[in-house]
Amino acid sequence: MAPLSPEEIKKRTALRMKVQQAYELLHFHKSYQQAEILRKMKWLGIEVGTASFSNIINNNRAGLKILQLACKGILEIIEWELPYAFDEKKESFVEVQKPTDWAPKTVPEYDENEQSPKKGIIFRPEGRLRIQDKVEFMQDAQHEVVEFGVRLRTYADYFISRSEHEFDRPMRALLKRKVNFKLYLLDPTCNETLLYFKDRGRVQPEEKASPEVIQGVLDKLKRLSKSLNNEGYPGQMQVHTYKHIPYNHFLIVDGMKPYGKMIVSHYIYGIRRANCPVMIIDKQHNYDLFKRYWDSYKMLTKDSKNLNFTPPL
């Protein structure tokens, strides 16, 4: 085995130091033991073996990948449970001033026996949520709201055709709280779009005009996002297009965080999208299922195009 370069040694040493200090911080403030921290990491989707973590804490040999995973997981726990952050210059954790609406959230511990498909799910067979239900679902967002669909015509119309207090004002309130919005529509010009609507148009003739409808919605949303972003809110709105056959609609609130949640509605052939059944999934109580859909969302949007001129969030 080739000896490590000085740069590699420095990188590993820095990661090990962060993990060790983070462990001491959690142990001091929360009395967590290694096993509890590892179960919290696993719940977050970061799995580090007991022996590997012990090696890091006790200054025994540990590979770079394990050090990176352990550091990522334990820093995520601290971010949501303690008002501390690592100061690179001081090479230590320091107490930080959190936003006024911040409150510590306990990362759950992964439990194999609790990963039941019945927990953390609400099934709505009647289809699309009412506007007030949708607004309520988004109200506790702290970082990000994602709307992923085919046309998003209803979403765009909410800003225009409904009273301000029903939708516009609640969305602005979220932007003021530094919540970012990401909107994803099907690219109206790609081959996947033409194939999708040609097929659906066989049983739903009104679907044939959807590429033109999407283009109109895109124009509305670009104007809307530009207007909102120019108002200087801490949060921003971005409009994206993607090039894949659409399988379902997503409404995701803080999907990357421990308390994330999402609404999923699968598109059923020959049935209006508004009438397709809806599932509401709570990440805290059904991590495995949530992650399955989250991974799908990430793959669907990986190569999406940002139509705004602002930098990606």
For 143-167, the pLDDT digits (tens) are 999 999 999 999 999 998 899 999 9
- Residue 209: pLDDT band (50, 70, 90) is very high
SS3 309: coil
- Token pair, residue 93, equals 């954790």
Identify the pLDDT of residue 111.
75
* 262 burial via Cβ count (<10 Å: 0-12, 13-18, 19+): buried
For 28-85, the pLDDT digits (tens) are 999 999 999 999 998 887 889 999 999 999 999 899 999 999 999 999 999 889 999 9
Identify the pLDDT of residue 109.
85
Identify the pLDDT of residue 311.
46
SS3 202: coil
Identify the pLDDT of residue 285.
81
Identify the pLDDT of residue 99.
74
The angle formed by the CA atoms of residues 101, 103 and 109, to the nearest 5 degrees, is 145
With beta carbons less than 8 A apart as the criterion, state whether 56 and 16 touch. yes
For 168-199, the pLDDT digits (tens) are 999 999 999 999 999 999 999 999 999 999 99
With beta carbons less than 8 A apart as the criterion, state whether 96 and 83 touch. yes
- Nearest Cα neighbor of 169 from 143, 131, 142, 219 is 131
Beta bridge partners, 238, equal: 182
For 257-285, the pLDDT digits (tens) are 888 999 999 999 999 999 999 999 998 88
Task: Read off the pTM.
Answer: 0.68
Identify the pLDDT of residue 313.
46
- Residue 101: pLDDT band (50, 70, 90) is low
For 283-299, the pLDDT digits (tens) are 888 888 999 999 999 99
Identify the pLDDT of residue 181.
97
- Residue 103: pLDDT band (50, 70, 90) is confident
- Token pair, residue 239, equals 């409009």
User: 261-266 and 305-306 as β-strands: parallel, antiparallel, unpaired?
Assistant: unpaired
Residue with tokens 């085919």, as numbered in its chain: 150
Distance (Å, whole) CA 118 – CA 3: 51
Q: Which domains does the chain have, with CATH numbers?
A: 6-101 (no CATH), 114-306 (3.30.870.10)
Beta bridge partners, 85, equal: 94
Average confidence score pLDDT of the chain: 90
Identify the pLDDT of residue 26.
96
In the chain, count of helices (H) and strands (E)?
10, 10
SS3 54: helix
Q: How far is CA 257 from CA 61, 151, 261, 282, 312, in A?
A: 31, 27, 9, 11, 19
